[in-house]
Structure 1
């Protein structure tokens, strides 16, 4: 059973993300403003994480310099606040299924940004380099398919059998679930911008953490700063008091779920899976969220799946696995080279010890 725990944790992580896509879309369908949603989500995450971080890591806290604080502030602004704001606006224009599909672009986007920032090596003349380049091109083709091709509608559930447990009456179905082509393209572009900001956050986070190592305090500080930033953005764009009311409805459920479960539980689970199986294993489970979201959104939200969404999602998944395959082969080759170099170094050290010992030992007297 211990060997199966990482697999179960990976499935649970993707199920939590699928729930995030569905509940966020349901809250927006219910009229909640995306900027207000991001503020409430980050505030809930901060309230949840702050006492845990203080309890476990307050003694490990190191002095926070002004330069490091500015770096964390900018990291929070672009990697969390703006990324979530663009994600929320995109979800309003499109669907939960598209949100889950574009998430498969994230590992590829992160790799591409790491190459541009010279934090990742890219050798085109090798098999792994060709696999990575192919994956990037396939992901671009998938993103273009999602944006510009809809195709026929795929009815997962026959007409008259939609329950809309998280949706709205059928009179609003056409307006909510069939966005115009312009809105759909705009939403795809906003998802792309959100993924770029999110990828930058992943790439630059490791460098900033060297200046401030306590992980929980680091994440909590980012969440707190993001709450302030998202509040400033929300108050600038949303002046209607009704938009700030939560009530006992799907808005409150979405805020609590995204702020506590997504921010708190998945952080721990992802860290545990990364420690046990590594980042490639975690990234390979990402397409599960797309499958879960596709079927759940059709049942719970009454969303209509198009052939373009399905083909684009498959291309994104194919591109993701191509890049991950190249990365895994590259890591294996590096491990073999490191082991070989270590063996050579050990043999050289042993030879030097033998030579030194032979020189230091006086010759035995010649017996006639």
Structure 2
């Protein structure tokens, strides 16, 4: 396979992995696994896998990190991983994997909005690209609101035999009548804000910790201890921490290895080769894979509101990305014009100096 086609194949694999994460995490939670315990297990496994690799390749860099940098990484892991993923797991338990994958598309838009508030992004409403970015933010928020407040009829699955058989999974109507659907959706929104804040501030911390794998490993270790404290505070019955060879263990191992390991590495490679816009534009594939899996394979009904809200968040995502793309083109064109103008001024100065020298010679 040529290098020009490889990034397109990899982003499809990445989004398929993310869809599997939502599906298996939801199945593990419905099977009785505590959401806080789930996060502790997945971060602990990821730390065990990453620590030996990082110790061999980046042990010299790790010794140079100051206590202040370690404190910043500690707070970064607390916000983005411990708080953000715990909120996401609870939201997933209260709603569905379709809602999770739909809300996933809001992360790039929320990241842009936070970057704008921190003056890392610009928004010129007098230009078409500025209007597109503002409209994208509004569409994204409207999509999340639609998911929260409108479920609509359930789209029946084509497969009526569930692949996973949870012990206690609330039905479509039960979730809606209990009001937990709204709470779960806004927990997803809160999780997205925490994750977006993590993305924005991570770029600043990378200046003090240039090794990406070292930063990832330290965050995994810190979040393991943080999530353990949270898990033991909410679930003190250690008999519920035990897992057999069932969907709970499968969900934990999958999230730790495939999501935190394989997908993050592939994503970093795609970011380096094709840039962040290319990766972000593949996010809508996640909800497509999730809905198809729910309807065709898992035997789980999908609410119409989740699908429509997902479409709105996708529209908001592409609106922001289009605005960013147009803005970058204008900046590039402006830089080229400035360079041409500077070259012309230098040529004019050279001609002026040459003419002045000729006149002086003629006078002599």
Does residue 275 in structure 1 map to residue 276 in structure 2? no
Matches within 5 A, 1:44-83: 44-61=45-62, 63-83=64-84
1:125-140 matches, within 5 Å, as 125-140=126-141
- Asked if the contact 1:167/1:301 (under 8 Å) is kept, the reply is no
- Cα distance between partner residues in 2 of 1:177 and 1:347: 70
- Report deviation, 1:296: 0.9
Quick one: which of 174, 183, 187 aligns to 1:186? 183
Number of matched pairs:
362
User: Residue in 2 aligned with 1:238?
Assistant: 235
The match for 2:205 is 208
Report what 1:153 is aligned to. 154
Equivalent residues in 2 for 1:3-42, closer than 5 Å:
3-42=4-43
Write the deviation string for residues 278-310 of structure 1: whole angstroms up to 9, x where unpaired.
111111110100010112123444321122111
TM-score by length of 1: 0.92
Q: Corresponding residue for 2:161?
A: 163
Q: Is the 8 A contact 2:41 2:252 kept in 1?
A: yes
Over the aligned positions, Cα root-mean-square deviation in angstroms equals: 2.2
Residues 58, 365 of structure 1: CA spacing in aligned structure 2 closer, same or farther, 3 A cutoff? Answer: same
Taking the aligned partners of 1:234 and 1:259, their CA distance within structure 2 comes to 17
Change (3 A) 1:353 1:29: same
8 Å CA contact 2:157, 2:299 repeated in 1: no
Structure 2: segments with no counterpart, 5+ residues? none
Find the counterpart in structure 2 of residue 224 from structure 1: 221
Query: Of 249, 252, 259, which residue of structure 2 is paired with 1:262?
Result: 259
Q: Following the alignment from structure 1 to structure 2, what is the Cα–Cα distance between the partners of residues 6 and 356?
A: 52
Counterparts of 2:229 and 2:166 in 1: how far apart (Å)?
31
Match of 1:333 among 311, 330, 333: 330
CA contact (8 A) 1:167 1:302 kept: no
Query: Are residue 248 (structure 1) and residue 245 (structure 2) matched?
Result: yes
Distance 2:296 2:304 in 1: 17
Q: Aligned partners of 2:357 and 2:44: how far apart in 1?
A: 70
